[in-house]
Amino acid sequence: MTTKQDAIRLFQIGDDLAQEFVAKAQGISTSTCADPTYCRAQLFFFAKGYKSFRAMEVLWCNGFWQDALTLLRTIFEASLQARYLSSDREALMPLFGDYEVVAKCRVLRKVRKMNLECWDSRAEASFGRLERTCASLESKYPKDKPGWHGMKISRLAETVGNPYKDTYPTAYAFQSCFVHSDIFIASSYLDWTEGHLKVKCGPEESDELEGPADATHHILQLTTLAADALAMDIGDTVKSAFGRWKTETDKVMASRAIVLDRMLQE
C-alpha cells in the first residue's frame, strides 16, 4: 500500500464520523438545544474545521500537500478553541458570545475609514447602532490581546494541554513555515543541486502521514464536542473511529522517521 493510500484511509476515518454527525444534525430544531449559544459555538468550530479538513484532503490527495499543511493549522486552531470552550463553558461562553459583536465592530471601523462609496447613510446608521452595543462590551477584550480568549495560540495550547501542548512547538511550527514562506522549506519548491535547477510547482506525492493523522484526530475531537453539545448519542461510532485511527499510528511513526531522515540529509 502506498503512502497516498494510507493517507486516504486516514482521511476516510474523519469523513465517516463527521458525515454521520452532519446527517443526524441537519435540520435539528435549535429549540431542542439545552444551551443554544454553546451549541452554536461548537457547531461553528466543527463546521469550520471539517470544511477545512475536506479542502485539505483534496489538496493532499492530489499532490499539493504543502498547501494542505497550511489548512491543518486552521483545523488545529478550531479544535483547540472548541476544546478550551468546553473546559468551562459557563465562564467562557459570555466571552465567546460577546466577542462576535466586538470583532465585527472593529473590522467595520477600518472599513468606514476607507471612505467607500457604498458606505451610505443606511450603512452609517447601522454601524452607529452596532457601535453603541460594542461600547458596553469592548472593555473585556483589550486590543493587544488576540481573539475572544485573549491568548496567543502558544499560551492557549499550554492552557488546554495535550495533544495541543506538544503539537504546537513541533507540528504547528512546521506548518507555519509553509504559511509564512520560510526559507527552511525551500527544498519543497526548488531542487538546487550540482548546478541543475528544478522548479517544483506541480503536484507530488508526500511520504509523510503525520499531517493526515493529526487532521483526522482533530476532526474526531471536533465531532465529539459538537455531538456532546447537541446531546447526540453517537458514542459507539466515536469509539470505533478513534479505534480505527489508533491502528494507523504505527504507519504514521514510520513515515515520521523517513521525513526526519530526509530533512537531515538535505
* DSSP letters spanning the chain: --HHHHHHHHHHHHHHHHHHHHHHHTT--GGG-SSHHHHHHHHHHHHHHHHHHHHHHHHHHTTBHHHHHHHHHHHHHHHHHHHHHHHTHHHHHHHHHHHHHHHHHHHHHHHHHTT-TT--HHHHHHHHHHHHHHHTTGGGS-TTS-TTTTS-HHHHHHHH-TTHHHHIIIIIHHHHHHHTT-GGGGGGTEEEETTEEEE--S-B-----HHHHHHHHHHHHHHHHHHHHTT---HHHHHHHHHHHHHTHHHHHHHHHHHHHHHHH-
pLDDT of residue 259: 58
pLDDT value at residue 87: 96
Q: What pLDDT score does 258 carry? A: 59
What confidence tens digit (pLDDT) does each residue in 38-65 have? 999 999 999 999 999 999 999 999 999 9
Whole-number pLDDT of residue 208: 83
Residues of the chain with pLDDT under 70: 1-2, 254-266
pLDDT at residue 58 in the model: 97
- Give the strand pairing for 190-193 and 196-199: antiparallel
Question: What grid cell was written down for 88?
Answer: 468551562
What was the pLDDT predicted at 255? 61
| Torsions phi, psi for 173 (to 5 deg) | -65, -40
| pLDDT at residue 28, as a whole number | 86
**Residue 91 and residue 187 in contact, taking contact as beta carbons nearer than 8 Å:** no
Please tell me the distance from the alpha carbon of residue 234 to that of residue 247, in angstroms, as a whole number: 20
